Structure 1
Amino acid sequence: MWQNLRAAWAMRAMLSVMVWRELAARHSGTAGGLAWVYVQPLLTVAAYYLVFDVVFAMRLGDAAPTKAVGTFLIVGMLPWQAFCEAVGRGTSSLIDSGHLLQKNALPPVLMVLRTVLASAAVYMPLLVLLALAYVPLHRGALALVSLPLLVVTQFALVFLLAYILAIMAAALRDTVQIVTFALSVGVFLSPILFPVTLFPADWRWLLWLNPMTAWVLAYQNVLLQGQWPSWQSCVGMVVWFGAACAVLSPLLRRSRDELVDWL
């Protein structure tokens, strides 16, 4: 795995160009162009706030980190959208770049990194805006300094998962459909739509099967309460990183000689 990252670092100039082209290609031919990359998630956030906090004025119970439903949803939904987009696009990144890899001696890791970094370039600024918008809740608490680390570690895990799934998709095309379905239902197996305290205690362990649970809880701690991420979130992050590395390393070794042929 480190060999792949060193190869990507050696070609970082090319990678930056590839990321820019990836962003431009997502909405090429539209009048708004690159602006649509940011407008779509912003409109989604605005819709949550308008519907749940303004129109219906829905409220959560006292056990929730905040009582405003829309405000609660946005904190978890924006990172989840970033996760879904990066993992979804990353899963098919090697398949989509098959012709390029077959004709050029490029490291496959570039294709996965290109997709993940393009999504990071979209959502990182939005998460910064979210932190500024939530100042009345977190009051600029010292715990806010952990936010950049949360964002970076989230996309680091996304890269590992996307690389694993991209290799699996190259070997078995059904992986793309399975991942698409898993992402569509994964939001219900996480503390995004509801506080974790509302989930039955005996079944709460199921939430940790979703890799984003640890990060969502951490974002809620920091942005809604101005508190440091809980130790449960930190342990969850370490476990998921360890599991992803444990799977990716042997997968890279086994697929090294055949990966391009699968594409």
Structure 2
Amino acid sequence: MIRSALGAECAQLWRLRALLGVLTRRELVARFAGSAGGLLWVWLPPLLTVAAYYLVFDVVFGMRLGGQAPTARVGTYLIVGMLAWMAFADATQRGMNSLIEAGGLLQKNPLPPGLFPARAVLASLLVYAPLLLVLMLLYAGAHRFTPGVWAVPVLLLCQGMLTFLLAYLLAILAAALRDVMQVVGVLLSLGVFLSPVLFPVDLFPQAWRWLLWLNPMTALVLGYQSALLQGAWPSWDVWLAIGAWVALLAALLSVALVRSRDQLVDWL
């Protein structure tokens, strides 16, 4: 029964994929509604962040990492990890808030609740995925189009799946207890420091390195760094960690769906 709960939810989302597409498009449009710049204002913040990292760390200061890092250039290293992290943080936060924001609609219409976290996650991926794919094309030439570079689309699919499961789980918990939103906001602010986004794994103390693997983005960031900075297909332990996180979140979400089935709308 618990396993079938998530399966039934995913089947509903697939049947309503046309509606999900409409909701996702509206979500994107709502982000720049009333502005003359339109979609530019969605892409401008991450683009400016990327440009600032490159200008400050690679051009102005010319900072370099040690020999164990996937690249010597600090700015180039930060760009890959931060783009992936910004996509994760944006999708997780918006997805977590999605059920509460759609509470009035869900109380009046018998829609699958999963539509709303899925909409938020898809909208965020549509913002950040093109930027990571552009990076892939830029680095593909530098690595002479080695097969490892083409792991990026697979990693994006894995990130979308993992983020949806996490965002939906958090959305249910936030509906039951609003304090969850505050706690997750703090964890997202701190989580970037407990991941290989700002520094290579080898710089983290060996005795505490296991803490990095408590962050669901650690394996994905390592995968992006391997593909984009080294042109190498991510190692098996990266895929194993991603699979473990997806399986764990799927199990937790299945339990949450069963436990909240009769109360979720009342919580909203």
Name the TM tier (shorter chain). over 0.9
Contact map agreement 2:140 2:149 (CA 8 A) in 1: no
Question: How far 1:40 sits from its partner (Å)?
Answer: 1.6
* Alignment correspondent of 1:57: 62
Match of 1:12 in 2: 17
Show the 5 A alignment for 1:15-164: 15-135=20-140, 137-164=142-169
The whole-number CA distance in structure 1 between the counterparts of 2:71 and 2:14 is 42
Which of 196, 211, 232 in structure 1 is aligned with 2:237? Answer: 232
* Contact 2:169/2:252 (8 A) holds in 1: yes
User: What letter is aligned with 2:44?
Assistant: V
How big is the shift at 1:34? 2.0
Equivalent residue runs for 1:145-224 within 5 Å: 145-224=150-229
Deviant stretches of 4+, over 6 Å = none
Deviations 1:157-182 (A, max 9, x none): 00000000000000000111111110
Structure 2 counterpart of 1:243: 248
Cα offset for 1:228?
1.2
Counterparts of 1:174 and 1:207 in 2: how far apart (Å)?
25
Does the C-alpha gap of structure 1 residues 176 and 22 become closer, same or farther in structure 2, counting only changes over 3 Å? same
Report how far residue 137 of structure 1 moved: 4.4
**Structure 2 CA distance, aligned partners of 1:197 and 1:62?**
10
Q: Take 1:201 and 1:233, find their aligned partners in 2: how far apart are those partners? A: 18
- 2:29 is paired with a residue of what secondary structure? helix
Quick one: distance in 1 between partners of 2:142 and 2:58?
15
> Runs of 5+ in structure 1 lacking a partner?
none
TM-score of the pair, normalised by structure 1:
0.98
CA contact (8 A) 2:197 2:221 kept: yes
Q: Measure, in 2, the Cα distance between the counterparts of 1:181 and 1:145.
A: 34
Q: 1:133 offset after TM fit, Å?
A: 2.3
State the distance in 1 between where 2:169 and 2:99 align.
Answer: 11
Q: Which residue of 1 aligns with 2:266?
A: 261
Distance between the aligned counterparts of 1:135 and 1:237, measured in 2?
Answer: 24
Say if 1:137 and 1:223, in contact at 8 Å, map to a contact too. no
Q: CA RMSD in A?
A: 1.0
1:166 partner letter: A
How far residue 135 of structure 1 moved from its aligned partner, in angstroms, is 3.4
Relative to 1, partners in 2 of residues 1:13 and 1:136: Cα closer, same or farther, differing over 3 Å?
Answer: closer
8 Å CA contact 2:99, 2:171 repeated in 1: yes
1:134 positional shift = 2.2
Distance 1:92 1:260, change over 3 A: same
Which amino acid is 1:219 matched to?
A: Y
Structure 1 residue 38: deviation in Å?
1.4
